Chains A and B, each alone.
Chain A
Amino acid sequence: MESVPQFFRTGPGPQARLFFFSLLSILLMIVDLRFESLHKMRQAISVILYPLQRIALAPASLYDQVGTLIEDLRLSKEINYLRQQYFLYQQQFSRLQILEEENTHLRRLLNAAKQTEVKSVMAEILYIPRDPFKRKIILNRGTSDGIEAGQVVVDDLGVIGQVTQIFPWSAEVTLITDKDHAVPIQVARNGLRSIISGVGKNNELELRYLSINADVQVNDLLVTSGIGGVYPPGLPVAKVEKIEHDRSYNFSRITCIPIAGVDRNRHVLILSMPLSEPESTNNSNTTESKS
């Protein structure tokens, strides 16, 4: 290449190149959409990209570390506060233990299945894809940490989303606000079952296809119903914000706000449900776990 000056070398013209490459990318798009065969290729590229992602995250984690150093100065006040809280909760905990025992006893009486134990893994958001068509985040845990596709991602308040693609050291999470994502839910107040889906906007969810006379009120809490076996029952999902009754449609338009900080957190929990038969859920289930 060095021996022949650039000036004299002519490859195919720009039009021909454009034609070739656009054909190639359109082909790739079709293959990616219709068949699942490109997943391995994605995995390979993401492994190469992993160090870059870590570097991009470095300033943020440095900021976090400085933050914790400053936090340390305020710790003594916090310890005092937490001690008080501890005593308060200790009392509540003893009451809870009694309740739990009573609960298991009642469950045995009812011959119901034991509530599933849920293990959780802490994860950090590596980065947010800049694609405006999707609501997704990338976490720093992958197959090497025992994460599997289909696991549920939550924060301290409620459901955030679900793991949809896994790579060796990272995992892609589809948020509940994604347009193609749906969660089976129940209204906590009366146990009404439905499915909530994202609309592709930040901080907005929608209850579709509920008839106009369905018993849903503003500020109702919506929790996962556990039907389908993917989501553990009783996790808060959203709160009803607005109900519009338009007579020209069969269904009312119900807009909800997610409870969890879907677009705010840095740290999240990945819950791993033991693979078992989905629990037979009834209305009492959710209200019990809520109380």
Chain B
Amino acid sequence: MSKDYLEKELPLEAKRRFIFISLVIAFIVNLFPLQEIIFLLRPDFVALTLLFWNINQPHQAGMSVAFTSGIIMDVCNSSILGQHALAYCFMSFLAIILHRRLVLFSIFQQAPQIFWILLLTQVIIYISGTITGSYHSDWYFFLSSVTGALIWPIIALILGILQRPEIDPNAL
């Protein structure tokens, strides 16, 4: 188990195009109109996509990408400009400084660690919302980081396909 990483395929440097497209798709998924319970439970797909690229391609998608998507999320959510940007910056900071450790784990083993990072992100959103808006949200607001961690393997699998090297058997 501990030498899993030796058998792993070396991921290709993902093209910026892929990162951009995956983020756009994540935004669209985030914008789906949903009903009450699913609405509360739905994970933040933009955060998950950002985390994936921060862990696997920290040079391609760094903190500036996180900041920009945070600003866009703020406009989508009509929250205070900068609230999500701040949280996403902290999130990608954690992901970037931990990325060497995180890539050694399989995607299922990564899930609990993703949970802590997502929870911290939500705590930052919660604190900044409380300071500026004085609204005390219910506790189940934090449930979406649990669903985020649960859905992480699926997201990582889908995004991992974009990274797989193309092996051309006809090449010399």
Q: Is B123 an interface residue (CB 8 A)?
A: no
Q: Is A96 an interface residue (CB 8 A)?
A: no
Q: Is the CB of B62 within 8 A of A17?
A: yes
List residues of chain A with CB within 8 A of the CB of B83.
Answer: 25, 29
List residues of chain B with CB within 8 A of the CB of A129.
Answer: 76-79
Q: Is B118 an interface residue (CB 8 A)?
A: no
Known: A32-B81, A52-B28. Contact between A17 and B93, CB under 8 A? Answer: yes
Chain A nearest CB from B126 CB (Å) reads: 8
Q: Is the CB of B89 within 8 A of A21?
A: yes
Choose among B13, B30, B93 the residue that contacts A130 (Cβ–Cβ < 8 A). Answer: B30
List residues of chain B with CB within 8 A of the CB of A146.
Answer: none
Mostly, the B contact residues are helix
Q: Is the CB of A57 within 8 A of B33?
A: yes
Q: Is A138 an interface residue (CB 8 A)?
A: yes
Digit string of B65-80 for contact with A (CB within 8 Å is 1, else 0)?
0110011100111111
Which single residue of chain A is at the shortest CB-CB distance from B30? A130
List residues of chain A with CB within 8 A of the CB of B33.
Answer: 56-57, 60, 125-128, 266
Q: Is the CB of B77 within 8 A of A22?
A: no
Q: Is the CB of B132 within 8 A of A29?
A: yes
Q: Is the CB of B78 within 8 A of A41?
A: no
Digit string of B20-44 for contact with A (CB within 8 Å is 1, else 0)?
0000100111111110100100101
Q: How many A-B residue pairs have CB under 8 A?
A: 134
Interface centre among B79, B96, B129, B134 (most CB of A within 10 A): B79
Give complex CA distance A134, B76 in Å: 13
Chain A nearest CB from B115 CB (Å) reads: 19
Digit string of B94-125 for contact with A (CB within 8 Å is 1, else 0)?
00110000000000000000000000000000
Q: Is B170 an interface residue (CB 8 A)?
A: no
Chain A nearest CB from B21 CB (Å) reads: 12
Q: Is A62 an interface residue (CB 8 A)?
A: no
Which single residue of chain B is at the shortest CB-CB distance from A178? B135
List residues of chain A with CB within 8 A of the CB of B30.
Answer: 56, 130
Q: Is the CB of B132 within 8 A of A14?
A: no
Q: Name A1-56 residues within 8 Å CB distance of B.
A: 6, 14-15, 17-18, 21-22, 24-29, 31-33, 38, 41-42, 45-46, 49, 52-53, 55-56
Chain B nearest CB from A33 CB (Å) reads: 6
Chain A nearest CB from B59 CB (Å) reads: 5
Give complex CA distance A201, B79 in Å: 17
Q: Is the CB of A49 within 8 A of B81?
A: no
Chain A nearest CB from B49 CB (Å) reads: 14
Which single residue of chain B is at the shortest CB-CB distance from A30? B82
Give complex CA distance A26, B133 in Å: 15
Which single residue of chain A is at the shortest CB-CB distance from B32? A56
Q: Is B146 an interface residue (CB 8 A)?
A: no
Interface centre among B70, B86, B90, B136 (most CB of A within 10 A): B86
Give complex CA distance A134, B81 in Å: 14
Q: Is the CB of B31 within 8 A of A53?
A: yes
Q: Is the CB of B135 within 8 A of A200?
A: yes
Give complex CA distance A263, B136 in Å: 19
Q: Which B residues contact A (CB, under 8 angstroms)? A: 13, 24, 27-34, 36, 39, 42, 44, 59, 62-64, 66-67, 70-72, 75-83, 85-86, 89-90, 93, 96-97, 128-129, 132-138, 141
Please name the 6 residue pairs, one residue from A and one from B, whose CB atoms are nearest each other, closest first: A28-B82, A56-B31, A25-B82, A29-B82, A129-B77, A25-B86
23 contacts between A and B (CB under 8 A): A14-B93, A17-B93, A21-B86, A22-B86, A24-B82, A25-B70, A25-B82, A25-B85, A33-B132, A42-B81, A45-B72, A49-B27, A52-B27, A56-B32, A127-B76, A128-B39, A130-B42, A132-B137, A133-B133, A133-B135, A136-B78, A165-B78, A179-B134
A18-B93, A129-B79 are known; give 13 further A-B pairs, CB within 8 A. Answer: A21-B63, A21-B67, A29-B86, A41-B81, A45-B75, A52-B28, A52-B31, A56-B31, A129-B76, A133-B133, A136-B78, A165-B78, A200-B135
